[in-house]
Amino acid sequence: MSGAASHPKAGAQPMRVANGNAVDTSRTLHFTFDGRRLSGHPGDTLASALLAHGIHLAGRSFKYHRPRGILSAGPEEPNALVELRDGARREPNTRATVAELFDGLVARSQNRWPSLAFDALGMNGLLSSVLGAGFYYKTFMWPASFWEKVYEPAIRRAAGLGRAADEADPDHYEKATTFCDVLVVGSGPAGLAAALAAGRAGARVILCEEDSLPGGRLRAEHMTLDGAPAADWVAKACQALAAMPEVTVMTRACVFGTYDGGTYGVLERVADHKPVPAEGEARQRLWRIVARRCVVATGAIERPVVFPNNDRPGVMLAGAVRTYVNRFGVAPGRRAVVYTCNDDGLRTARDLARVGVKVAAIVDSRPEGTGAGAQVARDCGAPFFAGASLADVYGSKGVKSVLVRDHAGQAHNIACDLVAMSGGWSPNIALTTHQGARPDYREDICAFVPSALPPGMVVVGAAAGVFDTAEALGQGAQAGQAAAALCGFETALPDLPRAEPASYGIQALFHALKGVAAAKKGKAFVDFQNDVTARDIGLAAHEGFVSVEHLKRYTTLGMATDQGKTSNVNALALLAEVSERSIAQTGTTLIRPPTQPVAIGALAGAHRGPHFKPERLPPTHQWAMAQGAVFTANGLWQRAQWYPRAGEQTWQETVNREVRTVREAVGFCDVTTLGKIDIQGPDAAEFLERVYVNAWKKLPVGRARYGLMLREDGFAYDDGTTARLGENHYVMTTTTANAGGVMAHLEFCHQWLWPEMDVQFISVTDEWAQIAVAGPKSRDVLRQIVDPEYDLSNEAFGYMAARSVTVCGGQEARLFRLSFSGELAYELAVPARYGAALAERLMQMGAPYGIAPYGTEALGVLRIEKGHPAGPELNGQTTAHDLGMGRMLSTRKDFIGRVMAQRPALTDPARPTLVGLQPLCATDTLAAGAHLLPQGALATAAADQGWISSAAWSPTVGSWIALGFLANGATRLGEVVAVHNPLAGTVVNARVVSPVFVDPEGERLHG
Amino acid sequence: MRLTCPFCGSRGLEEFTYRGDALVRRPAADTSLQTDAQAWTDYVYLRDNPAGLHSELWYHGVGCRSWLVVTRDTRTHRVDDVRAASAVAAERSGGAA
Amino acid sequence: MADKLHATAPIGAEAISANGLRLALAPLAEAASLGAFAGSGRAELLACVRAEFGVDLPQTPKAVTTADGLVTFLWCGPSQWLALAPAEASGPSGASSGGQGLMARLRASCGAVCALSAQGDSRTALRLSGPGTRAVLSRLVPVDLHPRAFRAGDVALTLAGHIPVIVRHLDDQPEACELLVFRSFAASLFHDLHVAMTGHTS
């Protein structure tokens, strides 16, 4: 049980001064920050709860380790990044302003050592002359050896942010796709109105709100709608939306990216606000939302003002101060100075005064007589400075006083513990620019607004530069109505509440410095997260980095978790000033997704660990498991690699035994994974003629033939056997690896090259369990399996015969006399559901003949012994000529690759061609990848004459053997070459031999 | 990116694979290196890479297995047209689909 | 002669129920692909199927079931269909005998105008049913499954996660969908659906 008893030291909340509209003060939650026990209430964020205790100091800055406080009340927060939770769930760089409080939350400040209050690296501030703009590039250039040993560890310790968890993430993440007519992003006045309008029309609407509660600024401001608190109307609007069956309101759901085709990326923080997710609940869910129309109502982000020491804890955004007061009932200070360039900022003074905070001064950058400052100051009983600025802030871990420079240049030191600053509002336009649009600068509101929009998108409310609530409501409703209408859902506009008018009256204020580059005394921060100062921007411009994109890379401005949400516009304004251009001329950097950090776990979803990719299991998989087989991945397929027996010490011993079993008795192997394509149609034979290099029309029904396919560039693509089952019916086999590719290739040839051909393809790879039965006793075993009416004698069913048979008393099957091993061999195919039973039956009936299953390893040895090319030989760089199949190329027909295969370079006898290799010393090892050189030659590229593609220990030959490609190979049989293996550091002498090591006459095959 | 398969409807990119330029034409079966090496080189190797509208071949491999001719703006990924490759090919050769 | 071979189910797992949903194998007695030959073949195939089975082959991604409930035809691509004969609809003898009927009927009725290929072991049918079926599927299947877009009888050839599937919406009362997947992928798909149903990763 949690509660006061178990948290005896949980402190009171001295700064909780009012009832916030989103906080339930009837319940208390306990949490720790840097080990200190604190309390808060449901509805609090970590930031609001800290501020309720008067705690501003939340972390240290990235580069200079300066004490930093809470700047904002939302996801734009650059400073208050903390580590949440412990152990495997420890999560770094979490913004305290969006971390919802829960009972038992453990939070820690980051980037401080040994403690937040005393940080040994705070002296980085004293080194600031070397840590300025581009310091990475300037300071650590040389000596190179210092980088790894000295600079990098030092930087990693000094800079960087929080610590990732050391253990695997125990939580579950989900991905999902959904579709809607109208996606509304943001649930402030404009977003709610849009959702209401589109929803009542009957459109499928999804409203995404990043916050835990809908309402946006309606919760943050002291304002009324229809004469009642705005939060009441929010609740009513949400009730109305909940009653609409086709409207979905998703909270804690951040739309982080706009993608092509009306696709939006959304991160839903399903259980981030809980200590641990509920049983079966995802921690986070990554949505892909495909929307026909999108209404962006993402509001605006307030800008800080750049002035010396503007990063002191206690210097906050004015709108954020109001959020803490109105939403959370927390006063972020006792004596406040409000610094603004617009009337909106002045609301802060009123809200603070209302909850009893002393307003020590209102500093308005606008000249006397502009804006409502004088009136507000009178109402709040505060000194008023028009045409004034803040020249400095004093206090290190908190604000003690500020230096106000009045319109006449006179300095006034004013004691305070809170500075609420407003440089005006920047529309939150990120989603409108993800596809490359550059926003337009509007002088009248000192802000960038969307220009060209992605197809289907409209922008409303503050995101469109409309800061008046009534106007935003109306614009939102119209946009929602129009979006629904474009999807075929028409209706009247919803009733909208009356809103109080509010003035804005902004006059540009980006910095309070005498000049950008002149700021010498006290750091004036532009980007708090990356510790970029006004001086850095001046320096970068001075050094020639006057393009915004260059400025960003050079100073690191706008990077990291906040992506410059509070800093980019100020930085542009400063750059514009030093480079003597307008802001519009200076332009913005391109904004790319995501707008908020997205955890890798969310992107991976359920596809992690062994389920990173699916597995394909052949029909005998369970059976092979029961046999104790060892498996290997062959693409997605899981295949039995070998079947160890009791007493076998090494895998080599097992494989040798399996090979000998095939050579001397009989073995069987599941070869279902080979691609099988059923080809039918009047033009089937002609089609095969065009995709294979060799001839097919004369292949009789009931026979199979080896076929080689080229790519159109003349290189070998794939091979396999194709059997003619009927006049217009063939079944093609492909390599396992290319099964999908060959299918696509055949479809391409048919649909695009030769649409007039009448032929149909369908994959039957999974339909048939195909089992190779190989060895001198294979016929004897099959005699026990295949029903007696089928004559399996060599005369009746010779090499390359193919036919339908029945097995085991009437079960339909296909039998092919094919051999990959060079032995008398068959492939027997039964419907896949009978595959496992067939394996069992083969074991049973083959027992008297010494049958054993063999895996892919033995399969590989057998085919190398027989000189059959496989994947390592058909590697995309070899030609039919290289493979010794040059004479297969028909000259009487057109086929894919025909023309380009004739290029002289592809048939040059000097090209490396397929050979066999055998070491002179039987105990020497050969390895695939080794290079072939003339004996005694230096191991240089110039002397290189080829390579080994496949190698294995051959129990049949009694030594290592290999297949390889050797220049002029066909003419060099008997020659000795050096096999150079730079990985193993060995050079072995090997004799060039025929690639067919076993039964070169083919007697066994045909026996 | 999404493509509207003429048979299956609007689908995400993960269902498709890209092949490339749909304007290259396989030279006639009776041409050879001797008669028209350049045509074969063009067909196999040379591709336009326009910044703007491009006619491309895509394969709806995990859908209906149709090859498609997609007209796409390579700068914006705006898709103006998607047609079955077999229909385009049949028109090209003057036959019926 | 030896005994007949016994059939093995494509996945070892039993049907599972979680959160009001049920996931189970829906065994196929038999299935066959139909690929219409060119020219007049398409029209002839339509006519042959209509004559033998009493239904029109769908021309869009949909499924139609014969009046006796024994055979369902799914659109599978231009000029391509899949005919399914579920084991449970094939009478008491189930997989062992019901299967033989479909291919034989197809061969006799339309073997001359289309490519016929046995697919009963190629495809495994998994049936997901219960309230929230669409929500669970949306975690794997990237097509619009909303009742306005995907109704009973609608078919989508698409992906479930990384696995190619044919999704068929069976019914809304109760919600039920069938996923046809290549047999070799069935165990992986079963696992992925299980995770989507329960939220358990392992």
User: How large is the ipTM?
Assistant: 0.97
Q: Do C117 and A614 lie within an 8 Å CB cutoff?
A: no
Report pLDDT for C201.
60
Report pLDDT for A136.
59
Phi, psi of A895 (to 5 degrees): -155, 165
Contacting residues for A156 by C-beta, under 8 A, at least 6 apart: none
Q: Do A845 and C188 lie within an 8 Å CB cutoff?
A: no
Range from A264-273, A557-566, C84-93 that averages highest in pLDDT: A264-273
Q: Do B33 and A756 lie within an 8 Å CB cutoff?
A: no
Strands A81-84 and A912-919: unpaired
Q: Are A812 and A862 in contact (CB under 8 A)?
A: no
Report pLDDT for A288.
98
Report pLDDT for A4.
35
Neighbours of A336 (CB within 10 A): 30
Residues of A with CB under 8 A from a CB of B: 177, 259-263, 288, 290, 435-436, 455, 712-713, 740, 743-744, 747-748, 750-753, 755-756, 894, 899-900, 902-903
A107-120 tens-digit pLDDT: 999 876 667 776 66
Domain C29-118: CATH superfamily, name plus number? Heterotetrameric sarcosine oxidase (3.30.70.1520)
Instruction: Give the burial class of A806: count Cβ atoms within 10 A of its Cβ; 0-12 exposed, 13-18 middle, 19 or more buried.
Output: middle
Percentage of chain A beyond pLDDT 70 is 94
Beta bridge partners of A316: A420
Mean pLDDT, to the nearest integer, of A594-602?
93
Instruction: Give the burial class of B51: count Cβ atoms within 10 A of its Cβ; 0-12 exposed, 13-18 middle, 19 or more buried.
Output: exposed
Whether A687 has its CB under 8 Å from any CB of chain C: the answer is no
- The span from the CA of A422 to the CA of A320, in Å, is 10
Report pLDDT for A796.
97
Q: Are A23 and A219 in contact (CB under 8 A)?
A: no
Q: Report long-range pairs for A77-81 (Cβ below 8 Å, ≥24 apart).
A: A77/A47, A77/A562, A78/A527, A78/A528, A78/A529, A78/A561, A78/A562, A78/A565, A78/A566, A78/A567, A79/A311, A79/A528, A79/A529, A80/A47, A81/A110, A81/A111, A81/A161, A81/A162, A81/A529, A81/A561
Give C78's contacts in chain B (Cβ within 8 Å): 7, 64, 66, 84, 86
- The span from the CA of C129 to the CA of C20, in Å, is 9
- The span from the CA of A580 to the CA of A702, in Å, is 85
Which of B1, B2, B15 would you mutate first to test chain C, the one with the most C CBs within 10 A? B15
- The rounded Cα A420 to chain-centroid distance in angstroms is 38
Structural domain boundaries of chain B? Answer: 2-92
Structural tokens at position A153: 């560890």
Report pLDDT for A2.
37
Structural tokens at position A196: 């209401």
Residues of chain C scoring pLDDT < 50: 1, 90-99, 202
Residue among A365, A386, A392 nearest A374 (CA): A386
Distance from CA of A714 to the nearest CA of B (A): 10
3-state secondary structure of A40: strand
Mean pLDDT, to the nearest integer, of A130-151?
61
Instruction: Give the burial class of A647: count Cβ atoms within 10 A of its Cβ; 0-12 exposed, 13-18 middle, 19 or more buried.
Output: exposed
Neighbours of A217 (CB within 10 A): 23
Residue A517 has pLDDT above 90, yes or no: no
Report pLDDT for B52.
96
Report pLDDT for A770.
98
- The rounded Cα A370 to chain-centroid distance in angstroms is 50
- The span from the CA of A97 to the CA of C158, in Å, is 41
Lowest-confidence pick of A866-870, A931-935, A936-940: A936-940
Residue of A nearest to C164 (CA): A614
Structural domain boundaries of chain C? Answer: 19-25+122-198, 29-118
Whether A68 has its CB under 8 Å from any CB of chain C: the answer is no
Contacting residues for B93 by C-beta, under 8 A, at least 6 apart: A755, A756
Q: Which of C8, C36, C188 sits opposite A614 (nearest CB)?
A: C188
Beta bridge partners of A364: A340, A386
Tell me the average pLDDT of chain A. Answer: 93
The DSSP element (H or E) to which A815 belongs, if any, is: strand A811-816
List, in order of start, the domains of chain A with CATH numbers.
4-135 (3.10.20.440), 173-300+428-486 (3.50.50.60), 304-423 (3.50.50.60), 674-765 (3.30.70.1400), 896-1001 (2.40.30.110)
Give B79's contacts in chain A (Cβ within 8 Å): 261
Residue among A641, A617, A644 nearest A628 (CA): A644
- The DSSP code sequence of A841-877 is HHHHHHGGGT-EE--HHHHHHHHHHHT---TTTSSSS
Whether C156 has its CB under 8 Å from any CB of chain B: the answer is yes
Residue among A326, A356, A284 nearest A73 (CA): A326
Give B27's contacts in chain A (Cβ within 8 Å): 899
Report pLDDT for A610.
83
- The span from the CA of A51 to the CA of A17, in Å, is 11
Structural tokens at position A260: 């092509």
Residue A390 has pLDDT above 60, yes or no: yes
Beta bridge partners of A306: A511
- The span from the CA of A542 to the CA of C130, in Å, is 67
Residue among A916, A902, A876, A898 nearest A718 (CA): A876
Q: Do C159 and B84 lie within an 8 Å CB cutoff?
A: no
Report pLDDT for A3.
36
Residue A158 has pLDDT above 60, yes or no: no
Structural tokens at position A770: 């195909």
Residue among A379, A363, A502, A369 nearest A420 (CA): A363
- The span from the CA of A310 to the CA of A653, in Å, is 74
Residue among A3, A85, A75, A73 nearest A44 (CA): A73
Q: Are A630 and C177 in contact (CB under 8 A)?
A: no
Looking at A335-422, list the stretches that DSSP marks H as alpha helix, in order from N- to C-terminal side. Answer: 343-354, 373-380
Q: Which of C78, C158, C164 sits opposite B11 (nearest CB)?
A: C158
Question: What subunits touch chain A, counting only 3 or more CB pairs under 8 A?
Answer: B, C
Report pLDDT for A235.
97
Whether B97 has its CB under 8 Å from any CB of chain A: the answer is yes
A897 residue type, one letter: G
Phi, psi of A436 (to 5 degrees): 105, -5
A727-782 tens-digit pLDDT: 999 999 999 999 999 999 999 999 999 999 999 999 999 999 999 999 999 999 99
- DSSP E strands: which ranges in A874-945? 912-919, 931-934
Q: How far is CA A876 from CA A570, A709, A714, A880, C100, in A?
A: 55, 11, 10, 11, 43
Per-residue confidence band for A948, with pLDDT thresholds at 50, 70 and 90: very high
Residue among B13, A616, A290 nearest C138 (CA): A290
- The span from the CA of C35 to the CA of A746, in Å, is 15
Give C187's contacts in chain A (Cβ within 8 Å): 615, 617
Per-residue confidence band for A922, with pLDDT thresholds at 50, 70 and 90: confident
Report pLDDT for A120.
64
Report pLDDT for A61.
85
Rounded CA Rg of chain B: 15
Mean pLDDT, to the nearest integer, of A808-833?
97
Lowest-confidence pick of A60-69, A255-264, C46-55: A60-69
Contacting residues for A486 by C-beta, under 8 A, at least 6 apart: A292, A293
Q: Return the CATH class of domain B2-92.
A: alpha beta
Instruction: Give the burial class of A168: count Cβ atoms within 10 A of its Cβ; 0-12 exposed, 13-18 middle, 19 or more buried.
Output: exposed
A735 residue type, one letter: T
3-state secondary structure of A829: strand
A913: left (phi over 0), alpha (psi -120 to 50) or beta: beta
Phi, psi of A825 (to 5 degrees): -155, 160
- The span from the CA of A773 to the CA of A783, in Å, is 12
Residue of A nearest to B44 (CA): A713
Report pLDDT for C162.
95
Mean pLDDT, to the nearest integer, of A14-30?
94
Q: Are A386 and A367 in contact (CB under 8 A)?
A: yes
Instruction: Specify whether domain C19-25+122-198 bears CATH 3.30.1360.120.
Output: yes
Residue among A986, A990, A985 nearest A972 (CA): A990
Residue among C201, C161, C199, C167 nearest C181 (CA): C167
> What letter would DSSP give residue A304?
P
Report pLDDT for A556.
87
Q: Which of B9, B11, B66 sits opposite C77 (nearest CB)?
A: B66
Strands C63-65 and A802-807: unpaired
Residue A472 has pLDDT above 50, yes or no: yes
